Structure formats: structure tokens, C-alpha cells
Amino acid sequence: MTAFSKADILLPKNAEMEKWAVVACDQYTSEPEYWAETESISKGSPSALNLILPEVYLEDKDVDERIGRIHASMKEYLENGVFEEHKNCLVYLERTQSDGYVRAGLVGKIDLEQYDYRKGSKSQVRATEATVVERIPPRIRIRNGAPIELPHIMILIDDPEGTVVEQVGANAGSFAKLYDFKLMQGGGSIKGMLVSDECADKALEALEALGDLDSFNKRYGLSEKSPLVYAMGDGNHSLATAKEFYEQLKKAHPGEDLSGHPARYALVEIVNLHSPALRFEAIHRIVTDTDPAALKAALTDMLDLSDEPSEQKIQIVENGVRTDKYIGKPLSKLAVGSLQQALDKLLPGIGGKIDYIHGEEVVERLSRAEGSVGFLLPDMGKEELFPTVIVDGALPRKTFSMGHAADKRYYVEARKIEG
């Protein structure tokens, strides 16, 4: 059986959708003004903003109060009929990105019993980047007591023949339209359609075929004992949180059969890796509240940074100015892994806070602040993703991003997760 299936999906019934949908909570973490503007736009209307915790606020003193308000808003929306539930279905969506490309996807639920985020996992659903377990507990506090979930999880399938999402899209003209609107703050636009039962069943059959072990091994020239069908694209820590919450729920109810509990699943969007709209881009680093000269000197010593060309290249950015540097002593197969390992070792001693940035121009701007230094990293080819994860396991954390922040998933759909 495939790990992806139909779900009972909640959608706002009469909301102003332009005010309802907001971007993934882990975006614009260094730009509080973005979230302030989002609050201004959505104020006074039902909005997903009231149901999520933007990570820019994760370390604020009032975080517990924020979580309490989130849970209260969820219950209020359910009790006041803000949502309409579409039972046992898939939603086909087309997202027109800020660059004009259209990204198609299918929204349904993923089985957390078939997901393992640990490095070396052989589960059907796997993490593509290292999971930072310390980031899970704060998110569990949000999920614990939440009657619903909203997903910004995007999972990739390696489907070069377009047998799943594209086949559904070919029949989309006959589907009932659920929504069609422009996204706030330069996010492009989005439309969603209710997939017919016939097309949904064919899509799930095609997903099962992708997981056929013999076909899988032939495709990659391997002799694995279990297939990788679903590789994390975005929202790795959100799915890991859902998994950990479900495991804790099972431990708290020993002997009970929780196989049918809603928390066993998480709402996700699956997208074909081969979609022209998907372009892998590096996730860059900015270090603030540090001594740039000391940090550069320590990095130069640890990584043997020089002007001599080598396989691993980074760019150091200070005051908006880029300088090419090559790594002579790599700590990983990828430049991002070498840099990340070095920063993890050095920052506790030197001091500084690291943030992960989508977009080179943002790094250049932030590097102009006193006590700040940025690092630009090379892109990763998306065709490398599945073979690398299958053979080597999860990549270093924050290795790649699929497009700019404005093109990330916006919260639209929701699902009940309480039993």
C-alpha cells in the first residue's frame, strides 16, 4: 500500500481567501516586518495566520500565550462553522509562482507509520536533510492540544513519466473548483479542484507502481530491500513533529489500537520532482551578533579557505560585497556540509546566531549590519536528490530550497487531528 491516501480536508467556507492564505511559518524568519504586514492585511477576517505560529516569534517571551490563542482560534473556527469538510478526497492544485511557472500538486494525507526521519532510514517516506531534533519540542507544544493541522509540507515523488500528478491534471477540466485567488505579498496565485474518485484512485494506483521494488531497483540500478517513494521537499521538521507527536500518543496509551487515529497521518502536498516549476536553489547562511574577522580566521584555518580553485566553493559576504573562497579541507561531500559543520563547531566559542536565508539579495542586505557576515552556497542539481538520499541517507540540514520564500506553500487546507 502506498503511504499517501485520500483525506478528510477542511476548507474555509465563506472566507476572503486572499486574507485566509498565508505563507509557511518557517519563512521570513529574519524579516519581522513581513509578518507585521501579513497581520495588517488579514486583521479582522478569518485567516490561517490565527492558526499558526510564525517562527520569527518562536523565541519571544509571549510564545506560550500565542500558542494558547492559536488553539482557541482553531476551536472557535470549528465551532462557528468557518470550515467545510470534504470527506475522503484529494485536492489537485495549480500554484502560479512569482516567476510565472505553474507548480501542480496533490493534497492528501501521509501515513506516519511509513515515515522515519532518522539518517539511514529505509522507510517509504524519508527525510532528505538532517533533522534537528532540538527543533521538534517547541513544535509539539503547538500540536499538543491543537484540534486541527495546517500543512506546509511538500513531498516529492520521482515520476519522470508523469503518471501521478500530471495524469490528474490532464482531467482537471472536469473537476469541481474549490478556490481560485491571488496570494498576498507577492506569492503569485493558486487554484484548487476536487479530484474525482476515479482519477484519485488511478493516481493512488500509479503511486503504488512507483513503489514496486523490482521497478525501483531497476530505475536506480540498485538492490535495495525497500523503496524510497516519497522524499521530503519542504516542511521536514513539521512532518517530524507530527511523527513524534503520534509516537508520544502511542506511548501514552499502551495497549490501545491507535491505527485509525487521525494523528497517525499528516496532511501534505505531493509534487513531481520533474515539474519544470521546481528548481533547486541553495539555502544561504547569515551569522549575526558575531566577530566577523575572528569567524573568518577560524573558518580559514578549519577549512583551509583560499583563492586556489577546488571542488567546493563558497562566497563570503560582508557589507554587501562577495568574496570567492575555496575549501581545501572539506568536512563533507558538499560545500554546504563542510561550512555547516565548521559553523556548528566554531560559533559556540566565537559567538553568533546563524539564520538560513532564501535569496542572495537578502544575504547581501543583511550582511551590511554590524557584526554580521553572510555565506552564499552553490545550487544542488535536483536529479541528484533521490539517488543521493537512497545511498548516502539524509543530506546536511538546509542543503537546498525549492524556490524563493514567496513561492513556498501557503496554508489553505486543514485537517482534524483529534481522535
Shared domain check, 242 and 189:
yes
297 and 243 co-located in one domain: no
User: Do residues 193 and 291 share a domain?
Assistant: no
Q: Does any domain span residue 20? A: yes
C-alpha cell at 116: 522515519
Backbone angles phi, psi at 374, to 5 degrees: -110, 160
Task: Please name the residue ranges forming H helices in 14-126.
Answer: 17-20, 32-42, 63-79
Query: Is residue 391 situated within a structural domain?
Result: no
pLDDT at 397 exceeding the cut of 80: no
Same domain, 321 and 233: no
Compute the Cα dihedral for 147, 153, 154, 158 and give only its sign. Answer: negative
Q: Which amino acid is at 42?
A: S
Q: Round to whole Å and give the CA distance between 140 and 125.
A: 20
Question: What is the per-residue pLDDT across 97-120, written as a single tens digit (0 to 9) for each?
Answer: 999 999 999 999 999 999 999 888
Range of the domain at 302: 284-376
Q: In the predicted model, what is the mean pLDDT of the chain?
A: 95
Q: 311 and 233 share a domain? A: no
At residue 344, φ and ψ (nearest 5 deg) are: -60, -35
Q: DSSP H helical segments within 307-359, as ranges?
A: 335-350
Domain contains 73 = yes
- Same domain for 216 and 250, yes or no, is yes
Instruction: Please report which confidence band the pLDDT of residue 345 belongs to, taking 50, 70 and 90 as the band edges.
Output: very high
308 and 205 in a single domain? The answer is no
Range scoring the smallest mean pLDDT among 40-54, 200-214, 332-346: 332-346
Residue 110: its pLDDT value, please?
A: 98
Q: Is the pLDDT of residue 59 over 80?
A: yes
300 shares a domain with 235: no
Q: How many CB atoms lie within 10 A of CB 402?
A: 22
68-84: pLDDT as tens digits: 999 999 999 999 999 99
Is residue 138 scored above 90 in pLDDT? no
Model confidence band, residue 4 (pLDDT cutoffs 50, 70, 90): very high
Which residue pairs from 378-382 have beta carbons closer than 8 angstroms and sit at least 24 positions apart in sequence?
378/282, 378/313, 378/314, 378/335, 379/280, 379/281, 379/282, 380/280, 380/282, 380/334, 380/336, 381/280, 382/273, 382/278, 382/279, 382/280
Say yes or no: 309 and 260 in one domain. no
pLDDT higher at 382 or 296 = 296
Q: Does 110 reside within a domain?
A: yes
Looking at the domain assignment, is residue 169 inside a domain?
A: yes
Q: Does residue 396 belong to any structural domain of this protein? A: no
Weakest-pLDDT range from 11-15, 281-285, 318-322, 351-355: 281-285
Based on the domain organization, do 274 and 346 belong to the same domain? Answer: no
H-helix or E-strand spanning residue 252: helix 236-252
Burial class (CB in 10 A: 0-12, 13-18, 19+), 72: exposed
How many Å apart are CA 231 and CA 313, to the nearest integer? Answer: 27
**Percent of the chain scoring above 90 in pLDDT:** 86
Same domain, yes or no: 358 and 292: yes
Buried residues in 185-219 as b, exposed as e (16+ CB within 10 A): bebbebbbbbbbeebbebbbebbeebbeeeebeee
Give domain status of residue 92, yes or no: yes
Grade residue 401 by pLDDT with cuts at 50, 70 and 90: confident
Domain match, 298 and 152 both: no
Relative orientation angle of helices 213-220 and 197-210, to the nearest 10 degrees: 60
Kindly state whether residue 383 falls inside one of the protein's structural domains: no
When divided into structural domains, the chain yields a total of: 2
> Tens digit of pLDDT for each residue in 285-306?
999 999 999 999 999 999 999 9
